[in-house]
Chain A
Amino acid sequence: MSGTARLSRVTVYSLLFVLLLASRPFTVLADDHLAAIKSSGVLAWGGDAEGGGPYSYPDPEHPEKIIGFEVELADALATRLGLKAKMVQNQWDQLIPALDRGSFDIILNGLERTPENQQHIAMSVPYFVYAQQIVTRKDTAGLDTVEKLKGKTVGALSGSASLKLLENTVGIDVKNYPGNVETLRDLKAGRIEAVVLDLPMAQFYAAPEPDLKFAGDSFAPGYYAVGVRKEDANLLASVNQALIEFTRDGTYERIYRKYNVWDGRQASLKDFKADAVVQKKAISTLREWPKYLPLLLKGATTTIKISVLAMALAVVAGLVLVLVRMYAIAPLRWLAQAYVEIIRGTPLLIQLFLIYYGLPEIGIKLNAFFAGILGLGLNYAANESENYRAGIQAIPRGQTEAAQALGMSQWQCLRHIILPQALKLVIPPVTNDFIAMFKDSSIVSVITMVELTKVYGMLAMSTYDYIGLGLMTAGIYFALSYPASLFANYLERKWSYDRR
Chain B
Amino acid sequence: MIVVEKLIKSYNSNRVLHGVDHAQERGQAVVLIGPSGCGKSTFLRCLSQLEIADSGRITIDDVSIEGGRAPRNSIERERQRQLRMRAGMVFQQFNLFPHLTVLQNITEAPMVVKGVSREEAEEHAKMLLGKVGLAQKAESYPAQLSGGQQQRVAIARALAMQPQVMLFDEPTSALDPELRDEVLKVMRDLAEEGMTMIVVTHEMQFARDMADQVLFFEGGLVAESGPPEQIFGDAQNERTREFVSRSVRK
Give A500 to B85 CA distance when docked, in angstroms: 33
Minimum CB distance partner of A498 in chain B: B143
| Nearest CB of A to B145, in Å | 10
Picked from B81, B95, B96, the residue with its CB within 8 Å of the CB of A409 is B81
Which residues on the B side are within 8 Å of A498 (C-beta)? 98, 141, 143
Contact B93 A398 (CB under 8 A): yes
Known A402-B91, A497-B143, A500-B143: A408·B112 in contact at CB below 8 Å: yes
Known A401-B50, A500-B143, A500-B144: A406·B109 in contact at CB below 8 Å: yes
Of A91-99, A376-384, A415-423, the stretch lying at the interface with chain B is: A415-423
Q: In residues 397-435 of chain A, which contact B (Cβ within 8 Å)?
A: 398-399, 401-409, 412, 416-417, 420-421, 424
Contact B161 A406 (CB under 8 A): yes
Among A406, A424, A497, the most chain B Cβ lie within 10 Å of the Cβ of A406
Give A500 to B143 CA distance when docked, in angstroms: 7
Picked from B84, B109, B141, the residue with its CB within 8 Å of the CB of A497 is B141
Which residues on the A side are within 8 Å of B81 (C-beta)? 407, 409
Contact A401 B91 (CB under 8 A): yes
Known A406-B84, A406-B157, A409-B77: A416·B108 in contact at CB below 8 Å: yes
Q: In residues 67-100 of chain B, which contact A (Cβ within 8 Å)?
A: 77, 81, 84-85, 87-89, 91, 93, 95-99
The verdict on A65 contacting chain B, using a C-beta distance below 8 Å, is no
Interface size on A, residues (CB 8 A): 22
Minimum CB distance partner of B92 in chain A: A398
Minimum CB distance partner of A406 in chain B: B109
Contact B144 A416 (CB under 8 A): no
Q: Mark B41-56, 1 if CB is under 8 A from A, else 0.
A: 0000000111000000
| Nearest CB of B to A227, in Å | 64
Which residues on the B side are within 8 Å of A398 (C-beta)? 91, 93, 95
The verdict on B23 contacting chain A, using a C-beta distance below 8 Å, is no
Number of A-B contacts (CB under 8 A): 70
Contact A421 B99 (CB under 8 A): yes
| Nearest CB of B to A223, in Å | 71
Which residues on the A side are within 8 Å of B183 (C-beta)? none
| Nearest CB of B to A497, in Å | 5
The verdict on A148 contacting chain B, using a C-beta distance below 8 Å, is no
Q: Mark A8-30, 1 if CB is under 8 A from B, else 0.
A: 00000000000000000000000
Q: Could you show 22 A-B contacts with beta carbons less than 8 Å apart?
A: A399-B95, A401-B89, A401-B91, A401-B95, A402-B97, A403-B109, A404-B49, A405-B49, A405-B87, A406-B84, A406-B85, A406-B108, A406-B113, A407-B85, A407-B161, A412-B113, A416-B112, A417-B108, A420-B99, A421-B98, A497-B98, A497-B143
**Chain B residues packing against A (C-beta within 8 Å):** 48-50, 77, 81, 84-85, 87-89, 91, 93, 95-99, 108-109, 112-114, 141, 143-144, 154, 157-158, 161
Contacts A406-B84, A406-B158 aside, 12 further interface pairs with beta carbons under 8 A come to A398-B95, A401-B89, A402-B91, A403-B97, A404-B49, A405-B87, A405-B88, A405-B158, A408-B113, A421-B98, A497-B99, A499-B143
**Chain A residues packing against B (C-beta within 8 Å):** 396, 398-399, 401-409, 412, 416-417, 420-421, 424, 497-500
- A-B residue pairs, 9 tightest by C-beta: A406-B109, A398-B95, A405-B89, A402-B95, A407-B85, A498-B143, A407-B113, A497-B141, A407-B84
